[in-house]
Amino acid sequence: MEPVLQVLALEPTSQVLGQEPIVPLAILLLVILVVPILFERLRLPGLVGLVGSGVVLGPSGWNLFHTDLSIINLLSDIGLIYLMFLVGLEQNFRQVHQSQKHYWGFAGFTFVIPLLMGILVGKIFGLAGNISILIGCLFTSYTLLTYPILSRLGVLHNQSVSATIGATIFTDTISILILAVCLSTRQADVFNLAHLLTLFGLLVIYTTVIFVGFSWVGQEFFRRSGDDEGNKFLFVLLSVFIALISTQFLGIEKFIGAFLAGVAVNKVIGESPTKEKLAFVGSFLFIPVFFVNLGLLIDLSVWSSITNLKFMLLVVVGVIFSKFLAALLAKICYRYNWQEMLTMWSISLPQVSTTLAGTFLGYQAGLLSTEIFHNMVAVMLITSTVGNLLTDRLAVALTPTPLPELLTLNLAEQKIIDKPRTFTIVVPIYNPHTQHYLIEMAVLLTRSEKSKIIPLNIASAAGRMDTLQLEESVQKSERLLAKATEQIHSSGIETVPLLRIDNAFGSGISRAAREQKASLIVMGWGNRTGLRSRLFGNVSDSVLWASHCDVAVTRLVESPQKIQRILVPIENLTSPVLPAVKFAQILADANQAQVTVLNVCDRRISSSKIAARRAQLSVLVSQLTLPNPPEIQMIAHENITQAILQAARLYDLVVLPFIHNYTVPGNLVMSDHTTQIAKQLTCSIVILREAQNTQTSNIPKSVANIRSSV
């Protein structure tokens, strides 16, 4: 027995890991879970930690993982494809014609200048023409890692910031096309005209088939499959893999298929829960593995060469200087101030998604040497870190700009602000323990209006349910409706109970609300529990996304009639402020309660900027012409979530505007303050979604509740 133990003790750890593939997978999941969180607390991009983890775990570090581990290579390949798919999913070409000339101007500057700079760097070091153009192509695009910072500071709609964000549609698309051309010719010295024409023809045919075919098939499938998010999710994934398989027959690079599939899918699904689930799967698992795998390929000894260090320094300086020059030209042409110009520069610095994908593919194709591969990874690490740090410091000084439509708000168009002649509230009831408070909330909202309340119950009707089971389900629903009707009648409000038989609760509620021409849906809180709920959503998710009217998702810990102090926290002035304030004020008027509108500012914002923000907020709230205007409170704090949680201790109810998670391809975290706050609050909560509020922004979006900046 003792010799066996000695042999086991002497057996290298790497061999044990190689024999048991589940062990490296477990370590990978631990790294993906823990490392980005630690780096985010240091205000560093999570991707830096992921790549660094690969270095530590790989041959240059502890040698726990080898670069030939099949499970890591498989997940990494999927992550690369998924990354390009998400880049395509971000492109919204329907908004191109609406873009201002500032978008196109900065897009041209930040594309052409870095492209020429990259070609110049290649020529200085004697690289072939194709490789020099490829390096220039890697310089051109940039990833919006700084989006969460800009959103937190409320400067997304500053003209210079929005121009920088909008320019990514042009830079991403053109750089990917040039990248495809460079990779399609394996000869590094010249481009073959016949080959280029053939490739161009194939791309035109392939793009047409993908766009037309995917759009038609997708629309037909979604029409026939109804609102089942699981089926939509799996259909989109299948479409992506079909697009990848077809590239093999045409001799086109796979990443082009993934990119075009993302563009085509975005055209079909738009801003929907399916888009969020797609980004969630890739960004929480596959894309992080790709970054860890990049770290495994890094050999630290490569950077010890003096020649290579000179090349790396020139590449880093070339990227930073070319982006600075592009921002400077935009300043001169469009008369931005220096603070705006420097912020544009910092936003456009991070070279992540397209840059790393192109570097990895060029390295695999043999066009880029090991030294160039390492230098481009260094560029990614440096620019992503510097870009985030600079934006965090520079954007603070910009004046927070509210949504343009908020400043010219037509109050008659707001369903909560100006009620229609009959204000109809639909109250879905399915939990006898919570329906009493839901009805009380609806009654408070209708007490001073010509209104009616429609208690709604969805009787489950599964496909294999027999007659007896269906009757039992209907009888249970009728009992709940009878109890709700009695409660509403006692309040003296008109009520029309509605029983619906459906196999999907969320879509059943949305359809019933539309049929009844509802103005508002008041429903209970549906907690996210389990992977299936996170991937395919729950009832409240479905209603929030699909309903035509305003939706109030509530978690009431006591009777709404006891509410005396109401807090409406807003993250920034780009949030849907007015509907949440009006909703809170209606409840306050019914209970003679007090409403406080809270705005949390960054500690580094100057007192003059805070005063300007207060003035803007006062102007917005004054448009409501309320008899009892709410109190406006400003707090300077470095953590929005903690500031709101501390303030909420003194309140009975917190009304949170529903803010959709907007992020960018390759972004591994965009903090959802609403979710964090709702989970930790102990008082009553209302999450209010204004009808169609997800369509108001013209900034490129991706629905991804993801973990850290990628």
Lowest mean per-residue pLDDT among 98-102, 356-360, 505-509: 98-102
Q: Say yes or no to pLDDT of 39 above 70.
A: yes
For residue 527, being part of any structural domain is answered with no
Pick 577 or 418 by higher pLDDT.
Answer: 577
Radius of gyration of the chain (CA): 28
For residue 646, being part of any structural domain is answered with yes
**Buried b vs exposed e over 313-324: b needs ≥16 C-beta within 10 Å?**
ebbbebbbebbb
Pick 85 or 103 by higher pLDDT.
Answer: 85
Render pLDDT for 165-213 as a digit per residue (tens, 0 to 9). 888 888 888 888 888 888 776 544 445 667 677 777 777 888 888 877 7
The reply to whether 387 and 433 lie within a common domain is no
CA distance 396 to 342: 12
Lowest mean per-residue pLDDT among 286-295, 403-412, 577-586, 642-651: 403-412
The reply to whether 263 and 391 lie within a common domain is yes
Query: Confidence band (pLDDT; 50, 70, 90) for 532?
Result: very low
The reply to whether 187 and 53 lie within a common domain is yes
Report the chain's terminal Cα–Cα distance, integer Å. Answer: 49
Q: Say yes or no to pLDDT of 433 above 90.
A: no
Q: Say yes or no to pLDDT of 542 above 90.
A: no
Query: What rounded mean pLDDT belongs to the chain?
Result: 77
For residue 116, being part of any structural domain is answered with yes
The reply to whether 138 and 193 lie within a common domain is yes
Do the beta carbons of residue 324 and residue 383 sit within 8 Å? no
The reply to whether 125 and 231 lie within a common domain is yes
C-alpha distances out from residue 378 to 75, 356, 360, Å? 23, 10, 13
CATH code, 697: 3.40.50.620
Do the beta carbons of residue 315 and residue 379 sit within 8 Å? yes
The reply to whether 575 and 436 lie within a common domain is no
Pick 259 or 230 by higher pLDDT.
Answer: 259
Cβ-Cβ contacts under 8 Å for 611 (sequence gap 6 or more): none
Q: pLDDT above 70 covers what percent of the chain?
A: 79
pLDDT mean over 413-432: 67
Q: Say yes or no to pLDDT of 605 above 70.
A: yes
The reply to whether 299 and 425 lie within a common domain is no
For residue 432, being part of any structural domain is answered with yes
Query: Looking at the 3D structure of the chain, how many domains does it have?
Result: 3
For residue 549, being part of any structural domain is answered with no
Q: What's the confidence (pLDDT) of residue 320?
A: 93
Q: What's the confidence (pLDDT) of residue 186?
A: 58
Domain end among 518, 541, 569: 518
Domain end among 457, 489, 518: 518
Of 673, 622, 669, nearest in space to 644 by CA? 673
Instruction: Please list the residues that pair with 703 across neighbouring strands.
Output: 662
Of 245, 262, 247, nearest in space to 354 by CA? 262
Cβ-Cβ contacts under 8 Å for 332 (sequence gap 6 or more): none
Range(s) of the domain holding residue 174: 8-395
Query: Confidence band (pLDDT; 50, 70, 90) for 634?
Result: confident
pLDDT mean over 82-89: 83
Please compute, for residue 349, the number of CA atoms within 13 A of its CA located in the half-sphere on the CB side: 25
Q: What's the confidence (pLDDT) of residue 651?
A: 92
Helices (H), 42-128: 46-57, 70-90, 101-124
Three-point CA angle 277, 279, 282, nearest 5°: 110
Render pLDDT for 108-152 as a digit per residue (tens, 0 to 9). 899 999 999 999 988 888 888 788 888 888 898 888 888 878 877
Q: What's the confidence (pLDDT) of residue 653?
A: 92
DSSP 254-287: HHHHHHHHHHHHHHHH-SSHHHHHHHHHIIIIIH
Q: What's the confidence (pLDDT) of residue 656?
A: 86
For residue 577, being part of any structural domain is answered with yes
Cβ-Cβ contacts under 8 Å for 632 (sequence gap 6 or more): 596, 597, 599, 614, 617, 618, 621
For residue 2, being part of any structural domain is answered with no
pLDDT mean over 372-392: 88
Q: What's the confidence (pLDDT) of residue 42?
A: 77
The reply to whether 28 and 159 lie within a common domain is yes
Domain end among 464, 496, 518: 518
CA distance 259 to 84: 5
Q: What's the confidence (pLDDT) of residue 329?
A: 92
**Buried b vs exposed e over 679-688: b needs ≥16 C-beta within 10 Å?**
eebebbbbbb
The reply to whether 465 and 568 lie within a common domain is no
CA distance 508 to 574: 32
The reply to whether 138 and 230 lie within a common domain is yes
* 294, containing H or E segment: helix 287-297
Q: What's the confidence (pLDDT) of residue 696?
A: 36
The reply to whether 376 and 446 lie within a common domain is no
CATH code, 20: 1.20.1530.20
Of 344, 318, 351, 348, nearest in space to 330 by CA? 344
The reply to whether 70 and 165 lie within a common domain is yes
Global confidence as pTM? 0.71
For residue 578, being part of any structural domain is answered with yes
Q: Say yes or no to pLDDT of 245 above 80.
A: yes
CA distance 62 to 699: 43
Render pLDDT for 1-15 as a digit per residue (tens, 0 to 9). 444 444 444 445 545
Render pLDDT for 657-687 as a digit per residue (tens, 0 to 9). 876 554 443 333 334 566 777 778 888 999 8
Q: What's the confidence (pLDDT) of residue 164?
A: 87
Q: What's the confidence (pLDDT) of residue 29?
A: 83
